[in-house]
């Protein structure tokens, strides 16, 4: 009986042990993923251009982000953090460690950024035969690649970035740099001009002006009681295009005053009235006493920036014919000279249709949009 009890006890123990083993095996199957067995390193990109950064992420086999607790190495040099910006192009090997685990290597590549646009600039697009101009080149990645670019003038490669024209005419220039080709720019070499004709000359170069217009600025009292001046603009202009797209690459403006005598009295105000008697044929010497402003723009370059740049000017109107009917134009024949303080002389001539505008203060600043007839018009003192 005692032996039987012992046998039953042993059998029961064996059965319990077997059941526990089955339960433990099931728990390992279901929970085996709870055990960290390794880490994986990934990069935000496999290839970037120089100057861009990689961002690395480390996860364990449970898909948990352990980046902050990991150390990342680029070519065996530990990073601070998980981003890396290379200073040189090339291929880099990256791995990570976390505790006892080391990730597999990840290879990343850094490439040089490639320029996609080449542009050129011409130092002067209008110059005398025998003169030298220079070219510069730039890309969308660099302000100056002149030394690396090749320039072509009229299809022929030149040495360096300067060119001397031996013949008058229009030239074309473009540049190449590796696989890039710039747009074509043009420039003109001209023979030295000696006589202006519907144009003006500066430093031997002739600048066309195809239109003439006078601007009335008003009549004003002077510091001397009973003495008055009338203020005019003389403009000789080249107009290119029409409407809002019109440009004026060449123009000369001389703003000057002339003495004027009253020709009547306003019955309401008692103020003097005046009859505009300009333009009339004659020679006008313009000095620092009666010159108010001067502009000279040649080929879109502002030659005269302030009145201090002007020493003197003269305007000779050899003939004026006024329109006889509305819609007709008036004609003028004139020459002018402007002497600058630096010794430069601007000489010009215009013969042809002319017009006038009212830019007086009484006209509320409407300026050139308000035409006035080139006839004897009666006006009062400007405000």
Give residue-wise pLDDT tens across range 182-232: 999 999 999 999 999 999 999 999 999 988 988 888 888 888 888 998 888
Closest listed residue to residue 79, CA positions, set 70, 91, 66: 70
> Do the Cβ atoms of 82 and 95 come closer than 8 Å?
no
Residue 31 within any structural domain of the chain = no
Residue 71, phi then psi, degrees to nearest 5: -115, 130
pLDDT over 70 (residue 331): yes
Q: What is the pLDDT of residues 149-174, one digit of tens each?
A: 999 999 999 999 999 999 999 999 99
Q: What is the pTM of this model?
A: 0.67
For residue range 108-149, what is the model confidence (pLDDT) as tens digits? Answer: 999 988 899 999 999 999 999 999 999 999 999 988 999 999
Into how many domains does the chain fold?
3
142 and 106: one domain?
no
Considering 15-24, 261-270, 303-312, the range whose residues carry the highest mean pLDDT is: 261-270
* Final residue before a domain boundary, out of 111, 129, 149: 111
Same domain, 47 and 161: no
* Domain boundary residue, one of 156, 190, 224: 190
186 shares a domain with 205: no
The pLDDT, as a whole number, for residue 382 is 61
CATH number of domain containing 179? 2.60.40.1080
**213 and 343 in a common domain:** yes
Other beta carbons within 10 angstroms of residue 58's beta carbon come to: 24
The CA distance from 212 to 355, in Å, is 7
Q: Is there a single domain that holds both residue 220 and residue 354? A: yes
Mean pLDDT value of segment 278-287: 82
For residues 92, 97, 100 and 104, what is the CA-based torsion angle, rounded to 10 degrees? -40
Tell me what the mean pLDDT of segment 226-253 comes to. Answer: 91
**Is residue 203 located within the same domain as residue 289?**
yes
Residue-range definition of the domain harbouring residue 43: 39-111
Q: Tell me how far apart the alpha carbons of residues 197 and 350 are, in angstroms, rounded to a whole number.
A: 6
pLDDT confidence band for 364 (50 / 70 / 90)? very low
Residue 32 placed within a domain: no
Residues 318 and 351 in one domain: yes
Report if residue 27 sits inside a domain.
no
**Residue that terminates a domain, selected from 111, 128, 150:** 111
- β-strand 211-221 against 345-358: which pairing, if any? parallel
Asked if 73 and 100 sit in the same domain, the reply is yes
């Amino acid at each position: 009986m005692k032996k039987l009890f012992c046998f039953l006890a042993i059998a029961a123990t064996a059965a319990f042990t077997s059941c526990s083993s089955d339960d433990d095996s099931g728990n390992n199957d279901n929970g085996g993923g709870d055990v960290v067995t390794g880490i994986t390193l990934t990069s935000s990109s496999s290839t970037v251009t120089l100057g861009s950064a990689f961002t690395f992420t480390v996860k364990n086999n449970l898909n948990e982000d352990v980046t902050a607790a990991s150390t990342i190495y680029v070519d065996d040099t530990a990073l601070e953090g998980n981003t890396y910006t290379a200073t040189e192009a090339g291929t880099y090997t990256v791995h990570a460690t976390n505790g006892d685990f080391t990730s597999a290597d990840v290879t990343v590549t850094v490439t040089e950024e490639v320029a996609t646009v080449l542009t050129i600039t011409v130092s002067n697009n209008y110059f005398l035969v025998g003169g030298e101009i220079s070219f510069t080149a730039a890309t969308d990645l660099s302000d100056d690649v002149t030394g690396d670019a090749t320039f072509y003038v009229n299809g022929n490669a030149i040495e360096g970035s300067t060119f001397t024209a031996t013949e008058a005419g229009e030239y074309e220039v473009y540049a190449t740099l590796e696989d890039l080709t710039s747009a074509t720019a043009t420039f003109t070499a001209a023979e030295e001009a000696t006589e202006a004709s519907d144009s003006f000359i500066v430093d031997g170069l002739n600048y066309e002006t195809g239109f003439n217009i006078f601007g009335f600025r008003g009549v004003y009292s002077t510091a001397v009681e009973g003495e008055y001046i009338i203020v005019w603009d003389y403009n000789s202009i080249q107009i290119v295009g029409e409407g809002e797209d019109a440009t004026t690459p060449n123009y000369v403006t001389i703003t000057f005053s002339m003495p004027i005598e009253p020709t009547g009295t306003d019955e309401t105000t008692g103020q003097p009235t005046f009859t505009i008697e300009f333009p009339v044929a004659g020679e006008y010497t313009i000095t620092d006493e009666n010159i108010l402003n001067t502009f000279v723009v040649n080929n879109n370059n502002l030659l005269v920036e302030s009145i201090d740049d002007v020493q003197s000017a003269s305007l000779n109107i050899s003939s004026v014919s006024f329109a006889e009917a509305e819609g007709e134009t008036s004609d003028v024949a004139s020459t002018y000279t402007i002497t600058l303080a630096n010794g430069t002389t601007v000489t010009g001539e215009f013969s042809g249709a002319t017009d006038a505008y009212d830019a007086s203060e009484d006209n509320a600043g409407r300026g050139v949009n308000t035409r006035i007839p080139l006839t004897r018009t009666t006006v009062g003192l400007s405000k």
